[in-house]
Structure 1
Amino acid sequence: MAISRADLFRGRIRSESTPAQPTPAAPQAVQARIGAGCLSYTGTDCRMCGDHCDRGAIRFRPLGRGRWLPVIEEGNCTGCGDCAAVCPVKAVSMETVAA
């Protein structure tokens, strides 16, 4: 196939070896996860994460003997990170999940 310089510089060349446009990545979301280092898991009363969650995505489930465990309501979590920022032991992390 003969190619003129004008076609070459104007980008009019297409061949089977031209790479296809990349497929856009699947949308991803960020959600909070509470790790094993959470003070509530060790029996210390702490509700900092829940107190700072404006969306109410963190509720506390009674465990007995005055202990309450934080539970993330994933449908309500916006991934803002406010809960992770206030955790005194950095037990709350933000993780990427498929949307």
Structure 2
Amino acid sequence: MADGASRVGDIAALTGLSHRRFTDVFSAGVGMTPKRFARLRRFRRALDCIGAARGWAEFAAAHGFSDQAHMIREFQAFSGLTPVEHVVGRSHPAKDDHIALVS
């Protein structure tokens, strides 16, 4: 799951737990389901590289999103901002792991 491409069922099988039990144990330890954790990791990896984006469709595909619209929905779900708003915000000073909000 480190790369975000592994299926929860495959990881559960490696642990010897059922899918449901693995999800329960993971959720209790991490505070979110394995699927949500994988989505968040994919978002963070894309966010870390967003300054190098040249074409949104290619960027989305390279970072594990099914298409550009999927990437935009995930960005909005996790941050409330679109990818373009993130790029614009990076040109303004902010603390590490913070986003500058500009009007």
TM-score bucket (shorter structure): under 0.3
Higher relative CO (Cα under 8 Å, sequence separation at least 6) belongs to: 1
Greater Cα radius of gyration, structure 1 or 2: 1
Structure number with the higher helix fraction is 2
Identify, as 1 or 2, the structure richer in strand: 1
TM-score (normalised: structure 2): 0.23
